[in-house]
Amino acid sequence: MTTKYTPEHEWINIEDHDAAVVGITQHAQDALGDVVFVDLPEVGKTYAKGEVAGVVESVKAAADIYMPVSGEVVEVNEALRDQPDLANSDPMGEGWFFKVRITNMAEFDELMDGPAYDVLLKSES
């Protein structure tokens, strides 16, 4: 299992050879506060890396969810529609947003690993 991070505070985790799971990081969740609504992408839609694939709204603000890699959305976390607070209680687990079939693995390889993401967080504080 390999987890990578984006500068916009999404995480992507390859669990198997078919699809990768995408969500927001603990840092993003902390910045947003209590999540009250999540707009998830459409299953079957293809996105380029960096395109807006969804929106997360909290009591503080709304934030775009960016596609960390190019690919096709193959599943969304339907539980988030009814329980958006899963993005607060378990952002790196049950609060995942969608699964994507990656079309360009080089884009995944270019994302930050855990130590590089920690450096980014330190530079932002």
The CATH number that applies at residue 10 is 2.40.50.100
| 116 is a domain residue | no
What pLDDT, on a 0 to 100 scale, did the predictor assign at position 93?
A: 92
Mean pLDDT by 10 residues, the chain (125 residues): 93 86 95 94 97 94 95 96 93 95 94 96 89
| 33 is a domain residue | yes
| 30 is a domain residue | yes
| 114 is a domain residue | no
What pLDDT, on a 0 to 100 scale, did the predictor assign at position 8?
A: 95
Q: How many structural domains is the chain composed of?
A: 1
pTM for the predicted model, two decimal places: 0.94
Partnered with residue 32 across adjacent β-strands are none
Q: What residue type is assigned to position 38 of the chain?
A: V
Buried b (16+ CB within 10 A) or exposed e, 9-23: bbbbebeeeebbbbb
| 112 is a domain residue | no
Using only C-alpha atoms, what is the Rg of the chain?
13
| 8 is a domain residue | yes
What pLDDT, on a 0 to 100 scale, did the predictor assign at position 27?
A: 94
Q: How many Å separate Cα 105 from the centre of its chain?
A: 17
| 89 is a domain residue | yes
CB 73 within 8 A of CB 44: yes
What pLDDT, on a 0 to 100 scale, did the predictor assign at position 18?
A: 75
What pLDDT, on a 0 to 100 scale, did the predictor assign at position 72?
A: 97
| 18 is a domain residue | yes
User: Which structural domain, as residue segments, surrounds residue 7?
Assistant: 2-103
